[in-house]
Amino acid sequence: MRLPITSNFFDHGAFIVLQLALPSFFAKLSINPLRFLKFFASIGVITTPLASSYAIPIPLGESKHDTRVLILGGGVAGISAAKALHQQGIDDFMIVEARSQLGGRMKPVLFGAPGRQYTMETGANWIHGTQSGEGPTNPIFALSEKHNLSTQANSYHGSMTTFDHTGQVDYMDTFNTAIKDYAKLMVGGGGRVPGGLVDTTARIGYSLIGAKPRTFQERVAEYYMFDWEYAQTPEQTSWIASSWANNFTYNADQGGFSHENLLSVDPRGFVSILQDEAAEFLTEEQVVLNATVETIKYSRDGVSVIFADGSSLSADYALVTFSLGVLQNDDVAFEPPLPDWKMEAIHGMNMATYMKIFLQFPEKFWFDTEFALYADEERGRYPVWQSLDMGGFYPGSGILFVTVTGDFANRIEAFTDERVKSEVLDVLRSMYPNTTIPEPDAFYFPRWHSDPLYRGSYSNWPASFVSGHHANLRATVRDRLWFAGEATSQKYFGYLHGAYYEGRRMAKYVAKCIRNTNCKHLEHIKEVLNSGPYNMDID
Ligand SMILES: Cc1cc2nc3c(=O)[nH]c(=O)nc-3n(C[C@H](O)[C@H](O)[C@H](O)COP(=O)(O)OP(=O)(O)OC[C@H]3O[C@@H](n4cnc5c(N)ncnc54)[C@H](O)[C@@H]3O)c2cc1C
C-alpha cells in the first residue's frame, strides 16, 4: 500500500521548521493510544490471528496482549525492524513514537529568511560509505537510490581553507599530516584485535604512533579528523572501537563500503527515504504517533508500556530502540528496574553530542572551498566550517554552518541563542578581520543533548567499554525485552547503517521466538571481568 507524504510547516522564531510528516491519516492516528485501541478493537484489527501453522509460545488467539511486538521508537532501527518482521510474514506489531512523524534523528528543518528557505538537516546528513565495486552496499545508500534522494559528494580532505584567530593562514601541511596520522591510528587500533591486545584510549594510540599535536593548528587538524567524526575527544574514545567504526564503514579492504561521503541536499529531507520506505509496507493501524512512553513493565509473560496520558498497550515482546541517552537519563522507567549488568552496559557507553549551528547571510563573503578550519586557542571552539553556498549544494543560499561537538557542545546548549550567535560572529570576525560581517538573516542550532527524546546525538565507545559490556547492551532481558539502535551496533555504532542493521537483526530473533522456531535469546554476562586479575601484592 503506497501512502502519500505530506508536509506540514510551523513557525519557529526567525525561521520555519519543516515537518516532513507521514501521511495525514497517520497523523490523524496520533491520538491517545487508548482511543486508538478502542478504534481498532472496534474494527477487529487487534485480534486478527497470524497463520495458525506457526508454532508460537503464546498462540495469538489466546494472547492476552494487544499485539505481538511493540516496537518502541520510530527511527531507523524501529522502521528496519518493522520491515524485517513484515518480510517474515509477521504484521501483528505496533510502532510507538513520541513525535508526530517517523524518522528519529533524521530531522530536517526549513531554515532561512522568508523567501530564502532551504532544507537543513539538524541530525543525520551524510551517507557514510556507499559501495566499492561489487562489495557490500551501505543499506542507507541503497534506500537513497531506491527513493531518488538528491545527494552531493562532500570532499572531506580535498577542499579546505585554513584559518586561525589572526585570519586566513595556510597550514595545509599540518592538515595533511593529521590525515596521515589518523590513517596510522586506524591501522594501529585495528591491528590490536588479532593479537588480543588490551584496548586503550585513542589519545594513547596517537601518542604511540608519534602524533602529539602541540600547536593550535595541529590540534584543530587532529580535531577535524577525530572529534568531528566521533563527537568526542581521543581521550574519551576507545582506540580499537574507533578503528573498526572507521574501517568497517570506509575501508573496502576491511569489509567497509567506500570512502565516499554523500550529503543529502534533498528539499524533501534525508528522512524522506525512511518515510517513503515505511509508507510501502506499514498500515495505519501499525503506527501510534504522539505517544510518549513513560514506563515499560516487563515479566516473563510479556510487556506493557504506560504512556504519558496514563493509557497503555501490551505485547508479547517489546523492542526498545530509544537512544542510549534516553536510557541513561531515566526518561523512561523500567518496572522492575533493569538488572545491574544491563545498567552497567548502558552507562558504560558514551552518548556524544554533535551540533551544527546554521547561519544565513544576505550574501556569501567566505571561503570558496567546501570546508574551513578555524584554529582557536581553545581546542574544539567553533572549529569546522562548512559552506552550502556553492555549486551542487545550495548556491545563492547565503548559508554556512559551523559544527561543535562533545563537552563544548553540551556546554553551549545551556547558553541563549543570542550568546551563541555572538560568539560565532566573533569567531567569523577574527577569521575575516578586514571584512564587515553583517548580522545573519537567520540563525539556528538544535539542542540534542537536552532533548528528552535523544539526550545527545549518537553513541561513542570509550576504552573502558569491553566486549562483555557490548554483549550486555544488546542482551535480552527476561526473554521479553529486546534492544536495538545505533548504540548496540558493534561495527557501526553512531551511524544510520548501524541502526538499520541492528533493527533488522533483532527483529529476526524476535520473529523466531514468535514462530517458536529456533527461538534464541541474546545471553548476558552476569559480571564482566578483567582480562586478568590485578596483583595487589606489590610494594
Ligand atoms: C546531529 C547528528 C548528526 C548525525 N549525522 C549522521 C550522519 O551524517 N550519518 C549517519 O550515518 N548518522 C548520523 N547520525 C546518527 C544517526 O542519526 C543515528 O545513528 C540514527 O538515526 C539512530 O537511529 P535509531 O533508530 O537507533 O534511534 P532514533 O533515531 O533516536 O530513534 C528512536 C526513536 O524513539 C523515539 N523516542 C524516544 N523516547 C521516546 C519515548 N519515551 N516514547 C516514545 N518514543 C520515544 C524518538 O523520538 C526516536 O524517533 C547523526 C545524528 C545526529 C543527532
pLDDT in tens, 280-290: 999 999 999 99
Ligand 1 and 96: CB distance under 6 A? yes
Q: Helices marked H in 311-402 — which ranges? A: 324-328, 340-348
Buried b (16+ CB within 10 A) or exposed e, 157-179: eeebbbbbbeeeeebeebbebbe
What is the torsional sign of CA 31, 35, 37, 43?
A: negative
Mean pLDDT on 23-31: 36
- The domain spans of the chain are 31-100+289-347+463-515, 174-213+225-258
* pLDDT tens for each residue of 477-527: 999 999 999 999 999 999 999 999 999 999 999 999 998 888 989 999 999
* pLDDT tens for each residue of 136-167: 999 999 999 999 999 999 999 999 999 999 99
Query: Which pLDDT score, from 0 to 100, does residue 193 have?
Result: 93
State the chain's mean pLDDT as an integer. 89
Confidence of residue 327 (pLDDT cuts 50, 70, 90): very high
What's phi and psi for 433, nearest 5 deg? Answer: -65, -20
Query: Which pLDDT score, from 0 to 100, does residue 17 have?
Result: 35
Instruction: Among 287, 458, 497, say which to mutate for ligand 1: greatest number of ligand atoms within 8 Å of CB.
Output: 458
* pLDDT tens for each residue of 374-433: 999 999 999 999 999 999 999 999 999 999 999 999 999 999 999 999 999 999 999 999
What is the torsional sign of CA 146, 147, 151, 157?
A: negative
CB 245, CB 405: distance < 8 Å: no
How far is it, in rounded angstroms, from Cα 130 to Cα 139? 8
Mean pLDDT on 31-50: 30
If DSSP codes are grouped into helix, strand and coil, which group holds residue 105? coil
| Percent of the chain surpassing pLDDT 90 | 84
Query: Which pLDDT score, from 0 to 100, does residue 535 have?
Result: 86
CATH homologous superfamily of 31-100+289-347+463-515: FAD/NAD(P)-binding domain (3.50.50.60)
Which residues line the annotated binding site for FAD? 97-98, 293
Ligand 1 and 201: CB distance under 6 A? no
Query: Which pLDDT score, from 0 to 100, does residue 22 have?
Result: 37
Confidence of residue 434 (pLDDT cuts 50, 70, 90): very high
Q: State in Å: Cα 104 to ligand 1 middle.
A: 4
Mean pLDDT on 224-247: 96
Confidence of residue 445 (pLDDT cuts 50, 70, 90): very high
Query: Which pLDDT score, from 0 to 100, does residue 517 have?
Result: 86
Give every CB contact of residue 154 below 8 A, 6+ residues apart in sequence. 126, 261, 262, 263, 370
Confidence of residue 533 (pLDDT cuts 50, 70, 90): confident
| Percent of the chain surpassing pLDDT 70 | 88
Query: Which pLDDT score, from 0 to 100, does residue 403 have?
Result: 98
Ligand 1 and 256: CB distance under 6 A? no
Query: Which pLDDT score, from 0 to 100, does residue 539 have?
Result: 83
Which residues line the annotated binding site? 97-98, 293
**106, amino acid identity:** M
Which atom of ligand 1 lies nearest, measured to the CA of 291?
A: 43
Query: Which pLDDT score, from 0 to 100, does residue 171 have?
Result: 98
CB 325, CB 456: distance < 8 Å: yes
